[in-house]
């Protein structure tokens, strides 16, 4: 019988428990695809007494997760601790230094330290696999690194955070405000007690940085990603979006141009008829555009024990079969040095909502600012009259440069008739 692949798992939370359960429940399926059994033989977690719904009997237990890397009976280390630094990074570095393959679901660590870790893996000729780090069970990493390897990828976009997608879906379907829906999401377990990483766009930015590195064959560059979250999206904006034929989604978008690589995460208006606009609830989606394949879209659950464990075990199967692919799809010597394009150079159309005092001359003052900055309007919405009171006004622009739009926002906010900070949402073409 072929020698089983011996696996150590660090972190036995939702995903870690899911990995153990999947490997046991689907042992025959996994062995058939891997060419040999895959078995967890060692584990590490903070709480040894916690009931994880799966037996840990017979497994070697380590209080110090980094010690897993030096266990001579371990073939592969699976890191499911999380966090860009601390024990997670120390464990991965120790495992690679020991010449052991690593499987991780840690998008923060890869986004921040991925370049250095990839270099270490390449030097040691061992796999560093991370299918589970982006979009849960959706095989987005394999699609970019392998399935689309013959293409020059032009653009990648995605709904990369299920918490934000759930909140925006509920706001649209129920007409409720952000804070109310967030509170409900926390009660249901879709949002953390501290949801900042999700709702401020950081989680999605980590994932986009990884996807962009794969798509464009460039070292991962998290610091170059423009990041905005969904805190300022209101039920009023979602209603206006519907009236204009759009839906609001938090998207991660990376695009290759003659100037370099543009990478951004922010709320977007997308046509209601676009496939990605119909991805609702906690689901994720990734869209890639290649020069020969055209547009490809993958959709599925982006988190949870089952989907994420599925991705972890897919990587273990590759390792069992001795498949070794460069971390970013190409070797270090072939990586691009394309520059990052600043957000100020972005060109696109914009949705702008103002709350203004309903009095003569207000719209003329606003449009004069836009005219002076060379920004042309496609349409305008104003509902009802309330002389002397606050009313919403919505402006939709033709394509213009981000820097001009930012200057316009600053000047419009300073007008005496404008009662609160203007709301800006970028309109993304299909």
Final residue belonging to a domain, choices 86, 102, 133: 133
Asked if residue 204 belongs to a domain, the reply is yes
Token pair of 389 as six digits: 């009171």
Q: What is the DSSP letter of 418?
A: B
Q: How many domains does the chain have?
A: 3
- In angstroms, rounded to a whole number, what is the distance separating the alpha carbons of residues 221 and 260? 13
List all residues 6 or more positions away from 124 whose beta carbon is below 8 Å from its beta carbon: 96, 97, 99
3-class DSSP state for residue 201?
A: coil
Contact 108, 83 (CB under 8 A): yes
Asked if residue 333 belongs to a domain, the reply is no
Asked if residue 335 belongs to a domain, the reply is no
Burial of 267 (0-12, 13-18, 19+ CB in 10 A): buried
Q: Which among 269, 301, 305, 308 has a CA at the least distance from the CA of 286? A: 301
H helices of 42-86, in order, are none
Specify whether 369 is located in the same domain as 267: no
Asked if residue 230 belongs to a domain, the reply is yes
**Residue pLDDT tens, the chain, 430 long:** 478 999 999 999 999 999 999 999 999 999 999 999 999 999 999 887 787 778 888 899 999 999 999 999 999 999 999 999 999 999 999 999 999 999 999 999 999 999 999 999 999 999 999 999 999 889 999 999 999 999 999 999 999 999 999 999 999 999 999 999 999 999 988 888 899 999 999 999 999 999 999 999 999 999 999 999 999 999 999 999 999 999 999 999 999 999 999 999 999 999 999 999 999 999 999 999 999 999 999 999 988 899 999 999 999 999 999 999 999 999 888 999 999 999 999 999 999 999 999 888 999 999 999 999 999 999 999 876 777 788 999 999 999 999 999 999 999 999 999 999 999 999 998 7
Instruction: State the CATH number of the domain containing residue 389.
Output: 3.30.70.260
Final residue belonging to a domain, choices 79, 107, 133: 133
- In angstroms, rounded to a whole number, what is the distance separating the alpha carbons of residues 108 and 121? 18
The residue segments making up the domain with residue 146 are 140-301
Specify whether 263 is located in the same domain as 146: yes
Asked if residue 254 belongs to a domain, the reply is yes
Specify whether 275 is located in the same domain as 419: no
Specify whether 159 is located in the same domain as 294: yes
Specify whether 284 is located in the same domain as 222: yes
Asked if residue 313 belongs to a domain, the reply is no
Instruction: State the CATH number of the domain containing residue 17.
Output: 3.40.50.720
Specify whether 257 is located in the same domain as 220: yes
| Catalytic-residue membership of 207 | yes
Contact 394, 353 (CB under 8 A): yes
Specify whether 355 is located in the same domain as 419: yes
Asked if residue 21 belongs to a domain, the reply is yes
Q: Which of 100, 142, 207, 249 is catalytic?
A: 207
Output the pTM of the full model.
Answer: 0.94
Q: How far is CA 100 from CA 107, 191, 275, in A?
A: 20, 34, 41
Asked if residue 89 belongs to a domain, the reply is yes
Final residue belonging to a domain, choices 112, 133, 154: 133
Specify whether 263 is located in the same domain as 188: yes
Instruction: State the CATH number of the domain containing residue 261.
Output: 3.30.360.10
Specify whether 105 is located in the same domain as 147: no
Specify whether 233 is located in the same domain as 282: yes
Specify whether 148 is located in the same domain as 123: no
Specify whether 297 is located in the same domain as 171: yes
Residue whose structure tokens are 């916690």: 50
- In angstroms, rounded to a whole number, what is the distance separating the alpha carbons of residues 248 and 170? 12
Residue 262: other Cβ atoms inside 10 A: 22
3-class DSSP state for residue 282?
A: coil
Instruction: Please state at what angle helix 14-25 crosses helix 305-320, rounded to 10 degrees.
Output: 60
Q: Which among 268, 138, 150, 269 has a CA at the least distance from the CA of 207? A: 138
């Amino acid at each position: 019988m072929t020698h089983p692949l011996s696996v150590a798992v660090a972190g036995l939370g939702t995903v870690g428990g899911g990995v153990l359960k999947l490997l046991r429940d689907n042992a025959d399926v996994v062995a058939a695809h891997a060419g040999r059994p895959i078995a967890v033989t060692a584990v590490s977690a903070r709480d040894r007494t916690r009931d994880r719904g799966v037996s840990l009997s017979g497994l070697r237990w380590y209080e110090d997760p980094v010690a897993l890397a030096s266990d001579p009976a371990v073939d592969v280390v699976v890191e499911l601790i999380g966090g860009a630094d601390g024990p997670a990074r120390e464990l991965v570095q120790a495992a690679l230094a020991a010449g052991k393959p690593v499987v991780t679901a840690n998008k923060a660590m890869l986004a921040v330290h991925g370049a250095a870790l990839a270099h270490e893996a390449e030097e040691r000729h061992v796999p560093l696999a991370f299918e589970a780090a982006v979009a849960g069970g959706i095989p987005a990493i394999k699609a970019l690194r392998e399935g689309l390897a013959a293409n020059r990828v032009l653009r990648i976009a995605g709904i990369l955070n299920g918490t934000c997608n759930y909140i925006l879906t509920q706001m649209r379907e129920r007409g409720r405000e952000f804070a109310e829906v967030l509170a409900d999401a926390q009660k249901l377990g879709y949002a953390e007690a501290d949801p900042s990483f999700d709702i401020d766009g950081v989680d999605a930015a980590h994932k986009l940085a990884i996807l962009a590195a794969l798509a464009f064959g460039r070292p991962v560059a998290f610091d170059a990603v423009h990041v905005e979250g969904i805190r300022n999206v209101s039920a009023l904006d979602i209603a206006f979006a519907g009236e204009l034929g759009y839906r609001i989604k938090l998207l991660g978008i990376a695009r290759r141009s003659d100037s370099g690589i543009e990478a951004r995460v922010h709320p977007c208006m997308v046509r209601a008829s676009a496939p990605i606009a119909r991805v609702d609830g906690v689901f994720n989606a990734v869209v890639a555009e290649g020069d020969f394949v055209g547009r490809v879209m993958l959709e599925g659950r982006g988190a949870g024990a089952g989907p994420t464990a599925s991705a972890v075990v897919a990587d273990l199967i590759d390792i069992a079969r001795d498949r070794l692919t460069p971390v970013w799809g190409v070797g270090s010597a072939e990586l691009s040095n394309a520059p990052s394009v600043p957000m100020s150079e972005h060109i696109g159309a914009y949705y702008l909502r103002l709350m203004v005092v309903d009095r003569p001359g207000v719209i003329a003052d606003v449009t004069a600012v836009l005219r002076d900055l060379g920004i042309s309007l496609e349409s305008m919405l104003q509902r009802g009259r309330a002389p002397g009171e606050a009313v919403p006004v919505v402006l939709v622009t033709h394509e213009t440069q981000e820097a001009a739009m930012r200057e316009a926002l600053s000047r419009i906010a300073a007008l005496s008739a404008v009662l609160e900070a203007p709301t800006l949402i970028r309109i993304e073409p299909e």
